[in-house]
Amino acid sequence: MNLTRNLDKLGIFGLLITALFSPCCFPLFAFAGSALGLGSFELFGGYTLLIFQALVLISIGGLYLSYRSHRCKYPLLIAVPSGLLIFYASNFNESDYWTYFIYAGMFGIFIATLWNFKRNKIHGSCNPCSPSKNETLETQSTLTCPNCHHEKTEIMPSNACVYFYECEKCKTLLKPLQGDCCVYCSYGTVKCPPIQLGEKCC
């Protein structure tokens, strides 16, 4: 298990556990807590909200690390406002409805975590999901220009598609043939990494 790629899931799991085992602070979870025989049990005592906010930071940190890999900003755009909502409710909102802001923030971070998991799978960055496939991945492909037949061996990126490629001899700008996702799939001796893994390319 790669910890840096699972921080977001670790964070949201911690948030749910903290809320479930602290029914006094999170009345919405009081029914489930009572069913487990917890009653007025407080998991972290007076530090519950501080621990809760720390777990929010862990979740957002994990989402940021994943963003650096797949470059999909939408999970972060959901998680950051959700985290701010939780911090606002915990520290500045003194109304009787402050817990509803926290529930909304938790829901937002949960959605962001699910979205992030999907993006990781699409971009092949979820290594524990397919270890045997990654072992046979080929990263070099020899491109042949259809115009002058010049050949050049290139290293293919593992997390991006190459839509255009300029032949270094005749300067022809190559682009994928219809039905192909990139120039390596059209003119290379080896298909691009996502296709090798049986996934969608970009």
Among 12-21, 76-85, 183-192, which stretch is predicted with the lowest mean pLDDT? 12-21
State the average pLDDT for the chain: 76
- Residue 127 phi/psi, 5° resolution? -55, -40
Number of domains in the chain: 2
Calculate mean pLDDT across residues 42-50.
65
Instruction: Please give the Cα distance from 174 to 170 (Å, whole number).
Output: 11
Does 112 share its domain with 56? yes
Q: Quick check: is 201 in a domain?
A: no
Residue 178 domain boundaries = 133-196
Q: Quick check: is 96 in a domain?
A: yes
Instruction: Please give the Cα distance from 105 to 82 (Å, whole number).
Output: 4
SS3 122: helix
Please say whether the beta carbons of 24 and 34 come within 8 A.
no
Tell me, rounded to whole angstroms, the distance of Cα 161 from its chain centroid.
19
| Domain's final residue, options 128, 149, 184 | 128
Does 18 share its domain with 91? yes
| Domain's final residue, options 97, 128, 159 | 128
Does 124 share its domain with 177? no
Q: Would the pTM count as exceeding 0.75?
A: no
